[in-house]
Structure 1
Amino acid sequence: MVVTLPRQLALDLPLQASFAREDFLVSPSNEAAYGFIERWPDWPSRRALLIGPSGSGKSHLAAIWSETAGAVTLAGAALEEEGVPVLVSHKAVVIEDAGRGIDETALFHLLNLTGEAGASLLVTAHEPPERWGLALPDLISRLRAMTALTIATPDDDLFRMLLVKLFLDRQLIVDTSLVDFLVRRIERSFAAARQVVAVLDREGLSRGRRITRALAAELLKEVLAAPPEDE
């Protein structure tokens, strides 16, 4: 008699990613940005723009800098003109995920006031300002004057380290052959790495199986055909 075991219920519980300095993975694709963050307060204009794809480590770098500088952090979508003076009073500000739809007048005043007050400012974005659809010429010129830091697509070593870290964040220990298998076969993006690890974790628990290369090969055909979700 064949007994079919019920699949375990896999709960998508939120994970708390570590933004500690010692957990940031440095490689050729991000070492210039990391080095610049580490040089604060020795910045040319005390204002910098950090650009990179989803999940590339922008928030991690911003958190490292925020802890060092004692900065206050605000989402770009929440930036409003009346709140700018309060932000500047902190002397160090992080604006996360700036881009299309941001309040241009508020950002313009933030750039002006941080400059006048000698405050430090770090702005993160997925794309350079030229792609934000901005209408204020003065704002565009001020953004172009900021030091621009770009995080590139991960190289092999960083992508391998990233996968290992994502598994460890979920308290999963996997074989190096599985990591090498994924490095060679999945899309070379941070978002794809997060999606793949999440699916392997969920499906491994649901099926009551260890996360192995064989399971990964099966899921690459079954589950991971859909494009990775953006953050």
Structure 2
Amino acid sequence: MANDAPPRQLTFDLPFDPRYGREDFLVGDANEAAYGLIEAWPNWPDRVLVLTGPAGSGKSHLAAIWAERAHAWTVTAMAVTHDRVQHLASNGALVVEDIDRPEGRDEASLFHLLNLARERGSPVLLTSAKPIDALGLATADLRSRLRLAPGAAIEAPDDALLRAVLVKLFVDRQLIVDLGVIEAVALRIDRSLGRARDVVAELDRDALGRGRRISRPLAVAVLRRMGLDESSGDAEP
């Protein structure tokens, strides 16, 4: 029997490079306080600032905006080791990403780095997916230092910001979709920018593999496959 199913195209999982410019950051109620602190540079209330928010909420984007303005280096918390503290603290402004990840985190070295940076007047921006009290820090001095550091938390986006971010994510991937697709996705996922990013990436892969544009029925079908849609009104033909 002949197979009438449309052929699926080969897809290549090429790395997607998001745009981290100041003009690419979308501001809403959820991130306005955090954005305000970044914009307030260099008039910070302290030399150390902590930015918290769930994965995909925009912490790295804000950190990149500040790093460009402050000419800062950017490293992960895993890179803060005893043998590198002096070097990291000697290069001016610094971003330390993902201090919430316990694997490879050297608390003594991180505390030493913050002390050296304070002594030298070097600003440090730290990012974390969890609040300080939820990090499980064993070093009391580090925990106290981070608790005292000013900062801002990025909250879950409201409906308007979620829709605006979805539009931006599609545009970043040079995908053209109509408002029906945006609404279908926005109504079916939780208010998470990280989730929005994952859904758009999956839609991009699926549409490329099928050789089809992203329609509302296709979006709903992909969401169902991802376990993100409990409604039954739309279906993929």
The TM-score, its normalising length taken from structure 2, stands at 0.91
| TM-aligned CA deviation for residue 152 of structure 1 | 0.4
Corresponding residue SS for 1:50: strand
**Counterpart amino acid of residue 164 in structure 2:** M
Aligned to 2:145: 142
Which deviations, in whole Å up to 9, do the C-alpha atoms of 1:79-136 show, x marking residues without a partner? 1022112111122010001122421101110111111111100000100121111111
Corresponding residue number in structure 2 for 1:225: 227
Q: 1:110 to 1:2 in 2, by over 3 A?
A: closer
Q: CA deviation at 1:9?
A: 1.2
Partner of 2:234: none
Which of 104, 108, 111 in structure 2 is aligned with 1:105? 108
Q: Which amino acid aligns with 1:139?
A: L
Distance in 1 (alpha carbons) for counterparts of 2:168 and 2:137: 37
Gaps of 5+ in 1: 227-231
Percent identity for Structure 1 against Structure 2:
51
Aligned to 1:229: none
Note if 1:24 corresponds to 2:25: yes
Instruction: Render the CA deviation track for 1:43-96: whole Å, top value 9, x for unaligned.
Output: 111210000000111000000000000101111112102211211112201000
Structure 2: state its 5+ residue gaps: 229-237
Write the distance in 2 (CA, Å) between the matches of 1:114 and 1:78: 16
1:20 partner amino acid: G
Q: Say whether 1:174 aligns with 2:174.
A: no
Give the 5 Å matches for 1:1-231: 3-99=4-100, 100-101=102-103, 102-221=105-224, 223-225=225-227
The residue type paired with residue 117 of structure 2 is T
Structure 1 residue runs of 4 or more that deviate by more than 4 Å after TM superposition = none
SS in structure 1 of the partner of residue 75 of structure 2: strand
1:173-214 residue CA offsets vs partner (Å, 9 max, x unmatched): 110121012111112212211121111111111112210111
Count of residues in Structure 1 that have an aligned counterpart in Structure 2:
226
In 2: Cα distance, 1:98 partner to 1:224 partner: 30
SS for the counterpart of 1:98 is coil
Aligned partners of 1:196, 1:142: CA distance in 2, in Å? 38
One-letter amino acid matched to 2:184? F
How far apart in 2 are the matches of 1:141 and 1:135? 11
Distance 1:134 1:159 in 2: 33
User: With structure 1 as the length reference, what TM-score do the two structures score?
Assistant: 0.93
